[in-house]
Structure 1
Amino acid sequence: MAAHVRLTFSRTRQRKVLLHPETVVVLNGSGAAILELCDGRHTVTEIVAELGARYETVPDVEVRQFLARLVARRWVELTDG
């Protein structure tokens, strides 16, 4: 995740949220699961594989589209490493 973004649990909302300066994004379960794996060690392919192991069906394209939207907002950063 980008340095200015933080994934945390909101006791008020009883959900995981993504905190960005002046913005709070309330995540659904799958969004939170994806972002929990955005730790700088997992590749996108590994994230999809891990979610596939946890849940019966994980649409690869949907995970990639979700991450692409977050990258476009500069909330997630992709690295070559």
Structure 2
Amino acid sequence: MQGRLTIAEDMPLRLHRQVRLRWDKARGLWLLLAPEKILVPDETCVAVLQELDGGPLSGAIDRLAEKYAAPRDVIAGDVIEVLQDLANRGYLLSEEAIPNG
């Protein structure tokens, strides 16, 4: 996995290629699955991850602010906090840092 990312709104982000967000029907909850790791994300984390589309993070922030009718600056702070935690754990990649091929 790559080195530490500092999350910013202009970053195109996605989950690391070995990480999957999956709905566990039997348990009725979302799981973030990585090799030899399972994380049970909270509702905020799931909402944020579902908005990641490989484009700049600012687009996901805009969509979440509209969806929850919340001030954009509040949503941006929450989103960056959630994603920075995941990046620190190695769950995220920036599309800018991914080599071609």
Residue 52 in 1 paired to residue 52 in 2? Answer: no
Aligned to 1:66: 82
Secondary structure, in 3 states, of the residue corresponding to 2:66?
helix
Larger Rg: 2
Q: Which amino acid aligns with 1:46?
A: G
Instruction: State the distance in 1 between where 2:57 and 2:84 align.
Output: 10
> Structure 1's 37 and 59: CA in aligned 2 closer, same or farther, altered over 3 A?
closer
Q: Is the 8 A contact 2:30 2:46 kept in 1?
A: yes
1:29 to 22, 43, 47: 43
Q: Is the 8 A contact 2:22 2:32 kept in 1?
A: yes
Instruction: State the distance in 1 between where 2:75 and 2:53 align.
Output: 21
User: What's the RMSD between the two structures over aligned residues?
Assistant: 1.7
Q: How far apart are 1:63 and its partner, in Å?
A: 0.6
Instruction: State the distance in 2 between where 1:8 and 1:39 align.
Output: 16
TM-score by length of 1: 0.84
Instruction: State the distance in 2 between where 1:22 and 1:12 align.
Output: 20
Number of residue pairs matched by the alignment:
80
Instruction: State the distance in 2 between where 1:74 and 1:38 align.
Output: 16
Q: Is the 8 A contact 1:16 1:26 kept in 2?
A: yes
Gaps of 5+ in 2: 1-14
Gaps of 5+ in 1: none
Q: How far apart are 1:51 and its partner, in Å?
A: 0.5
